[in-house]
Structure 1
Amino acid sequence: MNKEEVLGKFQRLGKVLMTPVLILPIAGILVGLGNAFTSKSLIAVAPWLGTIVPTMIFTLCKVAGNVVMGNIPAIFAICVAYGFAKSEKATAALCGFLGYMTMNTVMGTFLTTTGVIDPANLATGQSSILGVSTLDTGVIGGLAVGALVAWLHNRYYKIELPPVLSIFNGTRFIPAVTLLFCTVLGLLMSFIFPPIQGALGMLSEFIRSTGALGSFVYGAAERLLLPFGLHHFVYLPFMFTSLGGTATIDGMDLTGAVNIYNAILNSSSTPFDIEVSRFVMNGKVIFAMFGLTGAALAFYRTALPENKKKVGALMIAVVIPCFFMGITEPIEYSFLFIAPVLYVFHAVMAGLAYALTYLLNFNVAGSAAFGGPFLSLVFNGILGAGKGSNWQVILILGPAYFAAYYFAFKAIILKKGLKTPGREDASDEDDAPQATVSSTEISKVIPQIIQAVGGAQNIKSADACFTRLRLQLNDMDKVADDGVFTRDLGANGIVHVSGGVQIVYGNKASLYATQMREALEQE
């Protein structure tokens, strides 16, 4: 596989993952609202929020949003299997979920039997996933299963077995082979993940004992490990164990940063302690409220003109949960896989935010346990100024982070030509979206498009981005002249790429792709 093919695979992965990414904003908003309006700090100011009706409403918001936020790895497994399957995609999607649960069940059963997991007392990095006590492999587990299932599906969905096994011919073979391979994957993960988790335990001790440097590592590592589902190992030990400190406040013996910070909030005389505040995500207030908002503006400003409206709507949707509730995943997943260099920059800046807030004694918690960055800034920072919150630090760091993210993201995107949201199409020819073309008219032109690209047998796959019908072809020499598409088939342009063509149909491109697949019987 050459460099262009590898790049194409990663670009396709980014596109495939846009489906779950577009689900995250509304889920994030629901979870954020639920956490914020059921937080103790806000209820103390507005006691009516603690009555049964508001409590029920916001609790339901939280649990509804967590259906998505709590199952992102499973959703990724399904979407990757579906997105990379050549045909019979429904079977691939089903097997993506089946494979993900097989991996987790095998891991959980094996590690419970060997004594590593105690279902009644799950440790950090262990979780109950859809009722199965197992290791939390996070998004990487979902991606691994999705990729494995897609490979198995494409290899075997046309298989012909001996007559005695012919009942399992074709797609009926895929669930069986998925169970087998994902069982092996689950066993491998059982050996691979525990040592990694043990190494992270040693990292925690280093973070605790090294001041500002440790705060930098705390913030950067927490972000860098997010895609691997290992970020919980960074912050949870500090929040709820003695690594986050021990203290006696108003006669109560407390352990863990969250418990100590809560006690400080409820105490009339105890001042804030930066050695506690740094472990309840004070740095997140800076990069979630301001840094990633600057990144969102950079995505909007660098989007192609015809995509700005869509990208603007997407960015507003992902910034709301990020700014107000500290739920950063929706915006992070929008560029994590398609522009990892930006994510590395983001992780470094997150680490720097923790180091700076430690040095400047900024005592505002950013954790969802305290309502998220915005509410914590208001109720714990501004209203807690007398206890030494030093909330004014944000007046300097906030604008600085917004500017740093905006200009850095914009410069890197333009210099490297990254395919961030709204930049999937590199041509200036996509300016005439067919907004008034009806579904019936599209169905009439589809057979002509098929003929113009060499017939149905010449089309390997049909897909779409924001504005282009993307066709993978067997023989590029069979494609008609460009004028046929722009003059006779209503296209605004055609772009020839390695292994196929991209026909510009504006914001109706996805409808063309759907009807193309139906005509080719690829659905």
Structure 2
Amino acid sequence: MSGNKKYFAFFQKLGKVLMTPVMILPIAGILLGIGAAFTSASILNVCPALENPFVQLIFKLFKVVGGIVFSNLPVIFAISIAIGYVKREKGIAALAAFISFIVMHKTMSTILISLGKLNPEKLTTGQSLILGIPSLDVGIFGGIIIGFVVAYLHNKYYDIMLPPALSIFSGTKFVPVISILGSIVVGIILSFLWPFVQTGLSSLSLLIKSTGAIGTFIYGSVERLLLPFGLHHFVYLPFFFTSLGGSAEIGGKVVEGAINIFQAQLSSPTAMFDINVTRFLMNGKILFASFGLPGAAFAMYHVARPENKKKVKALFIAAAIPAFFTGVTEPIEFSFMFIAPILYLVHAGMSGLAYFLTYLFNINVPGSSAFGGPFLSTIFNGMLQSSKGSNWIYIPIIGVIYFLAYYFIFKGLILKLNLKTPGRGIEDSLEEDEKNSTISKASDDIIKNIIEALGSKENILSVDACFTRLRVKVKDKSKVADDNKWKKLGANGVVRVQDGVQVIYGNKADVYKNKVREEIGMD
């Protein structure tokens, strides 16, 4: 296989593996966005009725429930990758991935505390509590590393036979043991490597502050580029809360940090908004979150295979809602980040351009969740504060252009490069036959007939499933029944591949997979 084919095959499989956790994000994003918006101080100042304790409790629940999913994405990715890349004993792999993730962070925590570089009582930028462990925030990058380490070690050692004295650890019991050792090594490496990366990003903050419009472009692009690595906090937090974000005397009081300055400007009857403050409060996010990414989602829907459009439509509507209304963009971004990295690079550049444009047009409307997210901030900090120089009127004008730009750029690149975005992949097919829209319990007869059609239990090497296909590897393909037989068994079609068959059963495929594996005694 050529280098390019290996590259695309790797990311296509990674995209497939991560599709399940990605599909969790839209509902989590909606809950988080609504909760964050209606518990923010700026919204409560305008709508005091929302301060009702019961109403606030509901919104706080929304916020914490949605937030817990996003804050634990690294470990969710670690488990998903481990499950997706191991050949057998997936439950053991999931357990090993979770344990290894904890061990990696505990290793980093112990080393950094011992070196005096981490104080559990006073965590600094780039440090956070990970599953209760004070550690470096390495984001989903750390989760992905652990997932691959565990998958590699699992596939290599899950059937190992140890000497009699150590035989109690033979087989799958050895997987957590070797995975723990591997995660200690990863933790040691990251303990010494990651702080250098973080130091470099701190220096970048000074460059951003001193270069005006160009620095604003860098701010927006780098913030998105570093999102997968959990390092994006290094871009915006210093500007939010330190003098890097500015210093101003408002109402006779000196305030520092972009958030503090903007809040003081809101409270002052005379102070005007300042683009050198709002550029660090994610004003560019209003363009790419509320308009650009929905345009990208619309493009991915349009280029999906016809039979997949219905399910892709549901996925992207659910993902676009939190992006447009609350600025929670991860549900859309993660849908193409790993499957088509070139699209994410384009998106990062377009994000930087959004910040650049808001700087040039002097748009003083924060897009961060601290101000309710893009939609509510446009209303309460834009429309209702036009006398302070919000210049919100440019948002819908440039926004429509941004929607179209994302749509045509994404659509063009997907078609030209044949990118396997959701609904276009073969292995990730989202085909759905309407008559199979309700998953029914698989009867013993149909399962036995499927096994017979596959050439009997002895002919089956492995059984797996994607969204709609029962994927089976067999010893001898000549023993597999013809297409007419499969039609009689309710299949919508059969795809014959090099080492077996993919039988299209709609959304019954996963149920049939489990039933077949149970029937033939396969773990």
- TM-score under structure 1 normalisation? 0.94
Greater CA drift, 387-396 or 422-431: 422-431
Query: Contact 2:287/2:398 (CA < 8 Å) preserved in 1?
Result: yes
Hey, what does 1:61 align to over in structure 2? 62
Structure 1 residue 73 corresponds to structure 2 residue 74: yes
- Find the residue that maps to 2:255 and give its secondary structure: strand
Cα deviations across residues 14-71 of structure 1 (Å, max 9, x unaligned)?
Answer: 1121111111111111111111111122212221211311121211211121221111
Cα deviations across residues 353-374 of structure 1 (Å, max 9, x unaligned)?
Answer: 0001101101110000000000
Hey, what does 2:404 align to over in structure 1? 403
Query: Contact 2:282/2:366 (CA < 8 Å) preserved in 1?
Result: yes
Hey, what does 2:225 align to over in structure 1? 224
- Find the residue that maps to 2:366 and give its secondary structure: coil
Change (3 A) 1:385 1:437: closer
Distance 2:130 2:331 in 1: 21
Structure 1 residue 464 corresponds to structure 2 residue 492: no
Please report how far the alpha carbon of residue 486 of structure 1 lies from its aligned counterpart in structure 2 after TM superposition: 4.1
Query: Contact 2:442/2:515 (CA < 8 Å) preserved in 1?
Result: no
Please report how far the alpha carbon of residue 6 of structure 1 lies from its aligned counterpart in structure 2 after TM superposition: 5.0
Letter in 2 for 1:518: E
Query: Contact 2:429/2:468 (CA < 8 Å) preserved in 1?
Result: no
For residues 154-233 of structure 1, the aligned pairs below 5 Å read 154-233=155-234
For residues 21-32 of structure 1, the aligned pairs below 5 Å read 21-32=22-33
- Find the residue that maps to 1:122 and give its secondary structure: coil
Distance 1:444 1:312 in 2: 35
Please report how far the alpha carbon of residue 456 of structure 1 lies from its aligned counterpart in structure 2 after TM superposition: 4.1
For residues 282-431 of structure 1, the aligned pairs below 5 Å read 282-425=283-426
For residues 81-92 of structure 1, the aligned pairs below 5 Å read 81-92=82-93
- Find the residue that maps to 1:495 and give its secondary structure: strand
Hey, what does 2:144 align to over in structure 1? 143
Change (3 A) 1:436 1:263: closer
Hey, what does 2:518 align to over in structure 1? 518
Letter in 1 for 2:519: A
Letter in 2 for 1:93: A
- Find the residue that maps to 2:436 and give its secondary structure: coil
Distance 2:479 2:382 in 1: 64
Cα deviations across residues 117-170 of structure 1 (Å, max 9, x unaligned)?
Answer: 122221111111111111000001001001111111111111111111111121
Letter in 2 for 1:248: E
Distance 2:262 2:274 in 1: 8
Hey, what does 1:503 align to over in structure 2? 503
Structure 1 residue 111 corresponds to structure 2 residue 81: no
Please report how far the alpha carbon of residue 194 of structure 1 lies from its aligned counterpart in structure 2 after TM superposition: 0.8
- Find the residue that maps to 1:236 and give its secondary structure: helix
Query: Contact 1:429/1:492 (CA < 8 Å) preserved in 2?
Result: no
- Find the residue that maps to 2:393 and give its secondary structure: helix
Change (3 A) 1:430 1:383: closer
Distance 1:426 1:88 in 2: 22
- Find the residue that maps to 2:249 and give its secondary structure: strand
Change (3 A) 1:35 1:101: same
Hey, what does 1:265 align to over in structure 2? 266
Letter in 2 for 1:480: V
Distance 1:431 1:115 in 2: 56
- Find the residue that maps to 2:94 and give its secondary structure: helix
Structure 1, unaligned stretches of length 5 or more?
none
Letter in 2 for 1:507: N
Query: Contact 2:100/2:179 (CA < 8 Å) preserved in 1?
Result: yes
Hey, what does 2:489 align to over in structure 1? 489
Aligned-residue identity in percent: 54
Distance 1:37 1:155 in 2: 50
Please report how far the alpha carbon of residue 319 of structure 1 lies from its aligned counterpart in structure 2 after TM superposition: 1.0
Change (3 A) 1:332 1:479: farther
Query: Contact 1:270/1:387 (CA < 8 Å) preserved in 2?
Result: yes
Distance 2:437 2:419 in 1: 31
Please report how far the alpha carbon of residue 306 of structure 1 lies from its aligned counterpart in structure 2 after TM superposition: 2.0
Distance 1:429 1:409 in 2: 20
Hey, what does 2:36 align to over in structure 1? 35
Query: Contact 1:493/1:504 (CA < 8 Å) preserved in 2?
Result: yes
Distance 2:259 2:177 in 1: 46
Greater CA drift, 301-310 or 387-396: 301-310
Change (3 A) 1:486 1:122: same
Distance 1:318 1:455 in 2: 43
Distance 1:436 1:293 in 2: 27
Distance 1:436 1:290 in 2: 32
Distance 1:437 1:71 in 2: 31
Letter in 1 for 2:210: S
* RMSD of Structure 2 on Structure 1 (CA): 2.2
Letter in 2 for 1:88: E
Query: Contact 2:326/2:375 (CA < 8 Å) preserved in 1?
Result: yes
Greater CA drift, 422-431 or 320-329: 422-431
Hey, what does 1:51 align to over in structure 2? 52
Greater CA drift, 135-144 or 474-483: 474-483
Distance 1:266 1:376 in 2: 15
Distance 1:480 1:405 in 2: 46
Cα deviations across residues 310-342 of structure 1 (Å, max 9, x unaligned)?
Answer: 111111111111111111111111111111111
Structure 1 residue 153 corresponds to structure 2 residue 154: yes
Query: Contact 1:430/1:493 (CA < 8 Å) preserved in 2?
Result: no
- Find the residue that maps to 2:174 and give its secondary structure: helix
Change (3 A) 1:55 1:439: closer
Distance 1:167 1:427 in 2: 39
Distance 2:375 2:483 in 1: 55
Change (3 A) 1:429 1:66: closer
Distance 1:487 1:516 in 2: 18
Number of residue pairs aligned between Structure 1 and Structure 2: 522
Distance 2:431 2:42 in 1: 50
Distance 1:211 1:415 in 2: 36
Cα deviations across residues 373-402 of structure 1 (Å, max 9, x unaligned)?
Answer: 000000000101000000011122100010
Query: Contact 2:428/2:467 (CA < 8 Å) preserved in 1?
Result: no
Distance 2:111 2:30 in 1: 37
Letter in 2 for 1:28: G
Query: Contact 1:433/1:467 (CA < 8 Å) preserved in 2?
Result: no
Change (3 A) 1:411 1:522: farther
Structure 2, unaligned stretches of length 5 or more?
none
Change (3 A) 1:491 1:78: same
Change (3 A) 1:522 1:14: farther
